[in-house]
Homo-oligomer: A and B are copies of this chain.
Amino acid sequence: MKEKVVLAYSGGLDTSVTIQWFIDKGYDVVAVCLDVGEGKDLDVVHQKALDMGAIESHVIDTTKEFADEFVAYAIYGNSMYEGKYPLVSALSRPLISKKLVEIAHEADADYVAHGCTGKGNDQVRFEVAIQGLDPTLKVLAPVREWTWSREEEIDYAKEKNIPIPINLDSPYSIDQNLWGRSNECGVLEDPWNKPPEDAYDLTSNIADAPDEAEELVLTFKEGLPTAINGASYDLDDLIIKLNEIAGAHGVGRIDHVENRLVGIKSREVYETPGAKVILTAKHDLETITLTKDIAHFKPVIEQKFAEQVYNGLWFSPLSDSLRNMLKDMQQPVNGEVRVELYKGNVTVTGRRSDNSLYNEKLATYTNEDAFNQDASVGFIEIFGLPTKVKSMLESGVKLYD
């Protein structure tokens, strides 16, 4: 009996060639294609996998699961790798890995395969996640293994009658899901080059964005957005809606040189219009609903969680604990945030909450002031005491003798 390999199949050239390559090596290929919110035509991909010779073809719309079980935690955690990258691809890899493992179990396959190269983060994310879910599965990475040049790959494809995509000469390498779109390669490889307009797809150029600001009121419950201007949405639909609205205003372009897990710096261009709006608004809502103690400590948890996810460690005890803590901390994050989208800007113009810890009577400088200013005298004396003692020591003054 042939060995069986479950392959993460995108419908693109690399993974189509991979099916044939596995067949050449004597494997039966089970193709799996997931929609994580990029709006793929799953029927076409399903048929293509079979056409390429796969013995089974699975296509699954996991958009909702992706939103609820993965993106939600990125929202709880205001997740930004290196302060810039909202973990677009990094969030989808564990979900895809989980589905691959499930199908490998159903299909009784010993092998799982992905189409990543040997210099990116995604190979690590897939392989570590799959091992974390089932350590007996063997992971294959044909694209890393075959070491063909682009030309050699195309020659092989032609020889095997694998259709060559029309946009093959695109210089870019793109990944997309509900939470955004990433782009690298081509002219972007020189970090001094300005990204050309064709590097972008989800967002308008600011110059072309409407000349009128658009005001939105976002409602949040326990840290997640639930409504736009009073209309309720499931999380996945809400993000899709915001991608459209905010993308039109030129919101959410990111140009970042980031430190990959595999030791190199890489220049990436991201578009995350919906994420930008949600994270900006939610973070602002936290300023009135979280205590100072939490507000100052949560970034430590956030940074660690973002690193774990970026590094492919979604399935690990530490990530479990971090997710629990982030969700825990979001219980009071309820309320409304008013934002203006305008020429690339997301400007918060107001925030309110039944859980607000902002106390106008304590904050006001009017004669309604309820703050006891006398207390400050004692506070400052004690808060400043260590500084004073240090200063006494340095100046040789002995005040208390």
In contact, A387 and B316 (Cβ under 8 angstroms) = yes
Given contacts A128-B387, A132-B387, A359-B400, contact A365 B321 (CB under 8 A): no
A351: chain B residues within 8 A (beta carbon): 191-192, 257
Min Cβ gap A376→B in Å is 4
State in angstroms the CA–CA spacing of A362 and B82 once bound together. 20
Comparing A5-13, A48-56, A58-66, A378-386, the segment that makes contact with chain B is: A378-386
Closest to A332 in B: B317
Q: Is A241 an interface position by the 8 A CB rule?
A: no
> Whole-angstrom distance from the CB of A90 to the nearest CB of chain B?
15
Complex alpha-carbon distance, A395 and B101, angstroms: 14
Closest chain B CB from A298 CB (angstroms): 9
Whether B287 lies near A265 (C-beta < 8 A) is yes
Residues 108-154 (chain A) with a chain B CB within 8 angstroms: 117-119, 123-124, 127-128, 131-136, 144, 147, 149-150
Contact B362 A264 (CB under 8 A): yes
A256 and B347 CA atoms in complex are apart in Å by 11
For A376, the chain B residues whose CB sits under 8 A away are: 118-119, 123-124, 144, 262, 378, 382
Q: With a CB–CB cut-off of 8 A, which chain B residues contact A307?
A: 296
A373 within 8 A of B: yes
Of the A-B pairs whose beta carbons lie under 8 Å apart in the complex, a sample of 17, sorted by A's number, is A127-B384, A132-B391, A134-B395, A135-B388, A191-B351, A192-B338, A255-B347, A257-B351, A257-B358, A291-B318, A292-B386, A294-B321, A316-B387, A317-B332, A325-B328, A344-B347, A359-B389
Given A83-B299, A127-B384, A190-B360, 10 more pairs with CB closer than 8 A: A124-B380, A128-B387, A131-B388, A134-B391, A135-B391, A189-B366, A264-B362, A294-B317, A297-B318, A342-B344
Which residues of A are at the interface with B, using a C-beta cutoff of 8 A?
Answer: 82-83, 117-119, 123-124, 127-128, 131-136, 144, 147, 149-150, 173, 184-185, 189-195, 206-207, 213, 253, 255-259, 261-267, 283-284, 287-288, 290-297, 299-300, 303-304, 307-308, 313, 315-318, 320-321, 324-325, 328-329, 332, 338, 342-345, 347-352, 355-367, 369-393, 395, 397, 399-401
